[in-house]
Amino acid sequence: MGFYIVTTTKFHRECVDYLTYGASQSNWLCNIDVGDTIFLSQFSYKSQDLFGPFKVTKRLFYDKSIIYPGQKYFYRIRFEPINQTRSIEETDLYLYGIEANDIHLYFRIINLIQQNKHLHCIGLTDDEGKAMLEVFQSAGSRYDVCYRIKEINYLENVDRNYIWVKNKLDRSTRFSSESDMETYIVVSLKNVNDQEYAYVTNLLGKYSANNLSDSHIYNQFIFGNAYPSDIVIVNENNINVFELKKDQLTLSQIPQIEKEMKKHLCYSLFSNRIQQTDTNRFNFYLVTLRNKNSKPFRSIIKDKYLNTCEKISAHRENTVTFVEYSVNDSGLSFEEAP
């Protein structure tokens, strides 16, 4: 079971009354599963309140019915209250942290909410999620709800097939957006029988004690700051970051990729949100569309990566792997580039 905070600036009433939360892009909510626990945060200049806890009852779907005035937010999840809907103020987290003699954990959660209020979804670690539950159970006040559950008039489950059809992958060689590419891979990693699961398992297997089945999968956000990462797969001995590019690798992409590599390398190094051990290894995977002419660009990127690693090599082992994807009749295939 996972834990998430979903955020809004002005639609908390609609979210709670309709027991529905929506986002504008598929990848923001694609990692949330049935049974996960979510908390709703409304952070604005008027208030900083949280509502919940809720249990997810329907994972990502596409629904064009109007819930949020003036906004689309058609990629949605549904949920139900755990016991009853309660509300807390942001300061309740701080006060509970004092009472529990664990102010650092609760202050960390406050910082996550404040720094990432612009995001649709904030993935929580297990200790953060359980800490949130404790506050709601001890400090939360009853929140009166006027349920207005709507029948879903236009619904499509956002699964591999949905993304395949939307991106016309039967006729195209690439995704139309990196957000859909991210969604497709994350959804595939939830099913051990999908071929993408096997490909990623093999890529992780390059390094010791790096099993997908023993890992937590995060997307968009995990290292503890407002800089997003596409897919992060974390286990006891490895931090695996998959940076996704839907197109072929080109020279013009290198400055942006260098920036992303540096941020992932540095921000993950002493993050208090992921388990750190003496044997931690950081594995960076750059995934791009297959192109036989990209080897010179990979060489440049590798040199830049190793140059950054020299500054932190005393703290852990760091690796880089170049991966190329292609589309076939049954899905995506991943192949390590030479």
* Confidence (pLDDT) at 272: 82
C-beta separation of 175 from 167 below 8 A: yes
pLDDT of residue 153: 62
Q: What is the pLDDT of residue 274?
A: 81
What does the pLDDT profile of the chain (338 residues) look like in tens digits?
899 999 998 889 899 999 999 999 999 999 999 999 999 999 776 778 999 999 999 999 999 888 888 788 999 999 999 988 999 999 999 999 999 999 999 999 998 888 877 778 999 999 999 999 999 998 888 887 776 766 666 678 999 999 999 999 999 999 999 999 999 999 999 999 999 999 999 999 999 999 999 999 998 778 876 677 899 999 999 999 999 999 999 999 999 999 999 999 988 888 888 876 666 899 999 999 999 899 999 999 999 999 999 988 888 999 999 999 999 888 899 999 98
Give the tokens for residue 247. 């197109």
pTM score, whole prediction: 0.92
Question: What per-residue confidence (pLDDT) applies to 225?
Answer: 65
Distance CA 263, CA 275 (A): 18
Residue 334 is predicted with a pLDDT of: 93
Report the 10 Å Cβ neighbour count for 331.
Answer: 15
Q: Which domains does the chain have, with CATH numbers?
A: 3-156 (3.10.590.10), 159-336 (3.40.1350)
What per-residue confidence (pLDDT) applies to 278?
67
Structure tokens at 138: 């001890």
pLDDT of residue 47: 77
Query: Rounded to whole angstroms, what are the CA distances from 40 to 12, 113, 199?
Result: 7, 11, 35
pLDDT at 79: 96
- Which of 326, 100, 5, 27 has its CA nearest to residue 195? 326
pLDDT attached to residue 152: 63
| CB-based contact 134:96 (threshold 8 Å) | yes
Q: State both tokens at 16.
A: 């709670």
